[in-house]
Amino acid sequence: MSLQELLQQIVNGLVVGSVYGLVALGYTMVYGIVRLINFAQGALFEAGAYVGVVVFSLLGAFATHQPLIGLLIALILSALLTGGLAYLVERVAYRPLRNAPPLTPLVSSLATFFLIISVIQVITGAQPLNYPQVLSVSPWTIGPITLAPTSLLIAVVAVLLMVGIHFYVQHTKMGKAMRAIAVNRNAAALMGINTTWVVTFTFMLGGALAAVAGVLFGVDYGTVTYNMGEFYGLVAFTAAVLGGIGNVPGALLGGLTVGVLSSFATIFLPNQWQEAIVFAILILVLAVRPQGILGERVAERA
Amino acid sequence: MSVLARLRAGRRPLPPANARQGMRVALVLGTVAFASAPYWLGGSYFPDIWVDMGLWAIIGVGLNVVIGFAGLLDLGYMAFYAIGGYVFANAALYHGFNLWETLPIGAVVALVSSAIIGFPTLRVHGDYLAIMTLGFGGIVYFAAENLSAVTGGVNGLYGWKTPSLLGHPFITPLDFYPFVLALLIVAALVTMHLRSSRIGRAWACIKDDEIAAASSGIAIVRYKLYAYMLGSVWAGLAGALFAAKEALISPESFTFDASFFAVAIVVLGGMGSISGVIVGGIFYVVIAEWLSAYTGTLSGVIFAALLLLVVLLRPQGLIPYRPNFSRHRLIRYGLAEPPATTDDYRLDP
């Protein structure tokens, strides 16, 4: 293994890791507020990627002439539609179970995840779909490494969004309400916060972020498959746990770490070991430091 | 109050005594007729389906210990099914073991491996457990696909000597059927007794309120580990029988989907209810078979939708577990007040 190869894998890992971070953000925000692992997040990521394919094919020639505007339209439409889907999921599958024992919403989120994935599988006939090449500029060579402009664009968009969300949570009224609910939901409701709406909004935001990540992932990877939500949903969850679940900067950190580690793995090990590495990281983190890198010790739930 | 809620609260009057007697007799006869169906239906298709039903019912009964009794969500349960299957396949292929000699080994390996994975896993809290078991299931699937020396890789293992007992070879599904049925009955009886034993009561206590259980002196991690181990062992046994029946074992039987369906069987049937999860297992095989005759992929949609509906409308499952049967009777006679249901307190419209 040369130094060049190592640097190249770090760069590749950072790009894909920033996409994982976006999905992880959805997990982390929902968990922070309602203490629920939203399994559907992986399916929303996938749904977002598929909406992106549909938008690109509807745009047709326009997307090839104006790739950046095409990408922007795809991102916005996918975020809106998937945010709507997330609203539906919250309304149908979670809200009625708000006072149920903790196992019940977990099972219903699992069922929702499976439902969305199966529907996509039935519609597309389990065939992988291709993403168009957005920027067909030849890759840049910076010193020993090569970097495709598309990859740089993806990483920049993802990181900007994450920084934006961090500021949104820290400095707006809605963000303050989210943080208040995370501390104590009943107290927040007594202070006049519309907790139902804030929770719904958080789900929608998580879905929209997953959709953006899905489109970016599709552009980076070139193809989308009906079961991508299963594995990448788990990768993103690993990222969220690694960074410290409930912690917004932790999602970015966790995403980048998981991305770099799994792309390192491709140097030393055959390609299919990437999956095993992610599972191993997950189990190790949960066993050794369940609160993650940045997380505080998670209080036991009554 | 909806019709469903009224059924739940048990305001339906009890039928007269002779009718109840008749219903009981009909239930027993129906069960016997159903269980013996492969013998009088004949052919090779029906016995195969019935063996599958039996295996999935065993999976349901085993997972019911973990989810229904102890309240631990296990998303990697089929890993133990895989472990049982591969232990059998290796023992049969390389060491010439017969199925019956392998079954106890499979059970022990499933027990030991569940202890090894459970020990670090069960320390983490509730939701994390689900994810960790998911990761474990993923690793076992990955190992089955890639550790070709032990598992035969994607193609799997096959070609061992036909198992036999007292000189009688086991080839057709009908040969295996009595043993699957026997294992199911043993599993049902053992878990039924476990449920009302000291361990079972400790599980119920942990499921209801972990902090209260811990303060009453229940060693939570140890009892959770018992649940995990005593649940997984059935998957190990069923996995070995499955591999023997198919005469082949390959990774595709142990995907995440399979573990999801196992959870669905327990939740659909009724968490904690043994008859419920058996019906759940039968139901799953019927739906999967019936749908795959038309279109293979739709079964995922239907099962996920059904699971969602059950969780939302009837969280206690199709045949709920009734821990306090005599009180339930009193309520049905109108001699006691029905307990308040969550509906009475539901805040959201």
**What pLDDT is attached to residue B339?**
66
Nearest-CA neighbor of A247 among A285, A298, A191? A298
- Selected residue of A28, A37, A107 to mutate for chain B interface (largest B Cβ count, 10 A): A107
Q: A300: pLDDT confidence band, cut at 50, 70 and 90?
A: very low
Tell me which H or E stretch contains A226.
Answer: none
In tens, the pLDDT along A212-253 reads 999 998 888 888 888 888 888 888 988 988 888 888 888 999
- Across the interface, which of B124, B260, B301 has its CB nearest the CB of A290? B124
Question: Would you say A30 and A202 are in contact if contact means Cβ atoms under 8 Å apart?
Answer: yes
Expressed in angstroms, the distance from the first to the final Cα of chain B is 13
| pTM for the structure as a whole | 0.83
In tens, the pLDDT along B143-190 reads 888 887 777 777 777 777 777 677 677 777 777 888 889 999 999 999
DSSP state, residue B97? -
In tens, the pLDDT along A161-203 reads 989 999 998 899 999 999 999 888 889 999 999 999 999 999 9
> Which residues in A lie closer than 8 A to residue B312 (C-beta atoms)?
92-93, 96-97, 108
Amino acid at residue number A128? P
- Across the interface, which of A107, A119, A290 has its CB nearest the CB of B311? A107
What are the φ/ψ torsions at residue B36 (nearest 5 degrees)?
-95, 5
Contacting residues for B231 by C-beta, under 8 A, at least 6 apart: B62, B63, B64, B65, B66, B74, B77, B114
In tens, the pLDDT along B307-347 reads 888 888 887 778 878 766 556 666 666 666 666 665 555 55
At residue A302, does pLDDT exceed 60?
no
Question: Would you say A217 and A19 are in contact if contact means Cβ atoms under 8 Å apart?
Answer: yes
Classify A190 in phi/psi space as left (phi over 0), alpha (psi -120 to 50) or beta.
alpha
CA distance A48 to B248: 39
Q: A34: pLDDT confidence band, cut at 50, 70 and 90?
A: confident
A89 interfaces chain B, CB cutoff of 8 Å: no
CA distance B187 to B278: 11
Tell me which H or E stretch contains B13.
Answer: none
Q: What is the CATH number of domain A3-288?
A: 1.10.3470
3-state DSSP assignment of residue B98: coil
Nearest-CA neighbor of B271 among B28, B70, B4, B49? B70
**What pLDDT is attached to residue B324?**
61
Provide the chain B residues 176-205 that lie in CB contact (below 8 A) with chain A: none
Contacting residues for B146 by C-beta, under 8 A, at least 6 apart: A272, A273, A276, B153
Provide the chain B residues 96-135 that lie in CB contact (below 8 A) with chain A: 120-121, 123-128, 130-132, 134-135
Q: What is the mean pLDDT of chain B?
A: 81
**What pLDDT is attached to residue B141?**
85
Q: Nearest chain B Cα to A38, which residue?
A: B127
Pairing of strands B168-169, B157-158: unpaired
Classify B249 in phi/psi space as left (phi over 0), alpha (psi -120 to 50) or beta.
beta
- Across the interface, which of A37, A97, A241 has its CB nearest the CB of B130? A37
At residue B299, does pLDDT exceed 80?
no
Provide, rounded to the nearest whole percent, the portion of chain A with pLDDT above 70: 96
What long-range pairs does A125-129 form, CB within 8 A, spacing at least 24?
Answer: A125/B297, A126/A226, A126/B297, A128/A223, A128/A224, A128/A225, A128/A226, A129/A50, A129/A53, A129/A223, A129/A224
Tell me which H or E stretch contains A140.
Answer: strand A140-142
Question: Would you say A97 and A108 are in contact if contact means Cβ atoms under 8 Å apart?
Answer: yes
> Where along chain A do its domains lie?
3-288
- Selected residue of B297, B302, B346, B347 to mutate for chain A interface (largest A Cβ count, 10 A): B297
Q: Do B146 and A241 touch (CB under 8 A)?
A: no
Using the structure block, give the residue that is written with the tokens 């036991």.
A300
Provide the chain A residues 188-217 that lie in CB contact (below 8 A) with chain B: 196
Structure tokens at B253: 């039987």
**What pLDDT is attached to residue A43?**
94
In tens, the pLDDT along B84-113 reads 888 888 888 887 777 777 888 888 988 998
A114 interfaces chain B, CB cutoff of 8 Å: yes
> Which residues in B lie closer than 8 A to residue A275 (C-beta atoms)?
138, 142
Q: A146: pLDDT confidence band, cut at 50, 70 and 90?
A: confident
Q: Do B308 and A111 touch (CB under 8 A)?
A: yes
CA distance A281 to A277: 6
